[in-house]
């Protein structure tokens, strides 16, 4: 177990968390004025900005427009300074493209796409600092941004990861844990309906352990949801109070 002990005998992980504990989450909605919706999230040291534009008329060639639903266009990118080693990451690099695809699939499944035929929603995600769980933080940030933009969703989409170390499932892996070479399961769920929208696993895991790891990850998603929901209610509450008169 190359050097680092990911889980001590006393049940603590390297950073002092217990196996079922998430990293600290901080988030804000509406960070940009320009975008229709935007959000910023910190999950531990992973920091992500998301901006949503739309729905709007399809730009760049009408051919892309779909007659029965909205086009969800995602773009994932990582800042040059986001990792320990400074590295220029052209947007087209394979990792980002894959991530872009994954985000697109996730949100295609969650946005009520049929409500906006012939239009387009852009989701831009930028990782400012990467410390593990980039996909998860991106999904969570994008969810917040979509909510901020008032785009109808089936439910929140919350993502969380889980690994398996010393017969114990660890939720919300940080970079150190991810890079130790063990299994990592990434899951995105609709927490209220407990449905899974996205699931990815790298490296092998015995099927006996799968359910334990999945349960841990899903529980992580639910925890993430609680945090996000509080943030959304705070944010919406303020606005609603201000313009509540109009509503009444």
Partner 1 sequence: MLTSKVFIKKTKRGSVMKIVREHYLRDDITCGSRVCGLCEHPKKQQKPPLEENPNNRSSLCKRQHYLLPDTNVVLHQIDVIEDPSVTNVIILQTVLDEVKHRSIPAFKRMKDMLGNPDKHFYTFCNEFNKDTYVEREPGESSNDRNDRAIRQATNWYRQHIRNVDIVLLTNDAENKTKATNAGLQAFTVYDYIKSLKDAGSLVDRLANPLTKVSIQGNKVLFPEHLHLSDIQRGIKSGRYHQGNVLASRENYLEANVSVGGLDKMVFIQGMINLNRAVDGDIVAIEMLPESEWSCPSSLVLVDREERQKEEDDLDENEKEVKNPVPEELRQPTGRVIGIIKRKWRQYCGILQPSLLKEATRHLFIAAEKKIPKIRIETRQAENLTGKRIIVAIDSWPRTSRYPLGHFVRELGNVGEKDTENEVLLLEHDVPHSNFSQAVLNCLPEMPWTITEEDEQKRTNLRHIDICSVDPPGCTDIDDALHCRRLENGNLEVGVHIADVSHFIRPNTPLDNEAASRGTTVYLSDMRIDMVPELLSSNLCSLRSNVDRFAFSVLWEVTDEAELVGKPKFMKSIIHSKASLTYAEAQMKIDDPNQHDTLTESLRNLNKLAKILKRRRIENGALSLASTEVRFYVDSETHDPIDVQVKEIRETNSMVEEFMLLANVTVAQKIKDEFPHCACLRRHPSPPPSNFDPLIKAAKSKGLTVDVSSGKALSDSLDKAQFPGNPFFNTMLRIMTTRCMMQAVYFCSGMLPEDEFVHYGLAAPIYTHYTSPIRRFSDIIVHRLLAASIGADATYPELLDKQKTQMVCNNLNYRHKMAQYAGRASVNLHTQLFFKERVQDEEGYVLFVRKNALQVLIPKYGLEGTLFLNAPEKGAASLFTYDEEENTQTAGDVVFHVFDPVTIQLFIDRSNVQNMKLSVKLVKPVVPGFSVPPAAYKQTTEPPTKKRKK
Partner 2 sequence: MEVDIRLPAPRGRLAAKEDDEITLVTPGDVITSDTGFMRGHGTVMEDDSLKSTVAGVVERVNKLISVRPLKARYTGEIGDVIVGRVIEVGSRRWKVDVHAKLDAVLMLSSVNLPGGELRRRSEEDERMMRKYLQEGDVISAEVQNVMSDGTLSLHTRSLKYGKLGQGVLVPVPPSLVKRRKTHFHTLPCGVKIILGNNGYIWLTPTVTESNTGGYEVDLSPVSRGDREEMARLRNCVLALAEQKMLLYDTSIMYAYEESLKFESKVLLKSEVASEIAELAQQRLEHEGYK
In the complex, which residues of this chain contact partner 1 (CB under 8 A)? Answer: 5, 8-10, 12, 14-17, 21, 23-24, 44-45, 84-85, 131, 174, 176, 204-206, 208-209
Residue keyed to tokens 């769920």: 189
Report helix, strand or coil for 245. Answer: helix
Structure-block tokens of residue 177: 């844990």
* CA dihedral of residues 88, 94, 95, 98 (deg, nearest 10): 140
Q: Which residue has the tokens 């002990």?
A: 5
C-beta of residue 229 within 8 angstroms of C-beta of residue 222? no
Site string for partner 2, 155-184 (x = CB under 8 A): xx----------------------------
Binding mask 180-219 for partner 2 (x = CB under 8 A): ----------xxxx--------------------------
The candidate with the shortest Cα–Cα distance to 224, out of 186, 172, 182, is 172
Pick left, alpha or beta for residue 186 (phi over 0 → left; psi -120 to 50 → alpha; otherwise beta): beta
The entry of partner 2, partner 1, none that residue 92 binds, CB within 5 to 8 Å by partner kind: none
Is residue 237 a contact point for partner 2 (CB under 8 A)? Answer: yes
The residues pairing with 199 across neighbouring beta strands, listed in sequence order, are 187
Minimum CB distance to partner 2 smaller for 20 or for 154: 154
15 contact partners, CB below 8 Å, separation of at least 6: 23, 44, 174, 176
Fill in the per-residue mask, 33 to 72: x = in contact with partner 2 (CB under 8 A), - = not in contact: ---xx----------------xxxx---------------
> Could you tell me which stretch among 114-122, 124-132, 161-169, 177-185 binds partner 2 (CB under 8 A)?
114-122
Query: In which element (H, E) is residue 168 found?
Result: strand 168-171
The answer to whether 241 contacts partner 2 (rule: CB under 8 A) is: yes
Interface stretch with partner 2, choices 3-11, 41-49, 176-184, 239-247 (CB under 8 A): 239-247
Q: Which is nearer to partner 2, 77 or 189 (CB)?
A: 189
Q: What is the contact surface with partner 2 in residues (CB under 8 A)?
A: 30, 36-37, 54-57, 112, 116-119, 147-156, 190-193, 229, 232-233, 236-248
């Amino acid at each position: 177990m190359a050097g680092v002990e990911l889980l001590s005998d006393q049940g603590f992980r390297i950073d002092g968390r217990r196996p079922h504990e998430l990293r600290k989450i901080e988030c804000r909605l509406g960070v940009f004025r320009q975008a229709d919706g935007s959000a910023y999230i910190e999950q531990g040291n992973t920091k992500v900005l998301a901006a949503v534009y739309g729905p709007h008329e399809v730009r760049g060639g009408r051919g892309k427009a779909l007659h029965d639903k909205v086009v969800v266009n995602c773009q994932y990118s990582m800042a040059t300074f986001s990792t320990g080693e400074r590295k220029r990451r052209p947007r087209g690099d394979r990792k980002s493209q894959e991530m872009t695809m994954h985000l697109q699939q996730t949100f295609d499944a969650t946005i009520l796409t049929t409500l906006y035929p012939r239009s387009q929603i852009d989701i831009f995600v930028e990782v400012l600092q990467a410390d593990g769980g980039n996909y998860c933080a991106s999904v969570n940030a994008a969810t917040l941004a979509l909510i901020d933009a008032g785009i109808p969703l089936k439910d929140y989409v919350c993502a969380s990861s889980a690994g398996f170390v010393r017969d114990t499932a660890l939720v919300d892996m940080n970079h150190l844990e991810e890079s130790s070479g063990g299994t990592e399961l990434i899951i995105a769920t609709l927490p209220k309906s407990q449905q899974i929208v996205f699931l990815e696993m790298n490296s092998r895991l015995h099927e006996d352990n799968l359910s334990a790891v999945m349960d841990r990850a899903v529980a992580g998603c639910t925890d993430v949801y609680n945090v996000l929901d509080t943030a959304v209610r705070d944010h919406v509450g303020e606005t609603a109070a201000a313009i509540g008169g109009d509503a009444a």
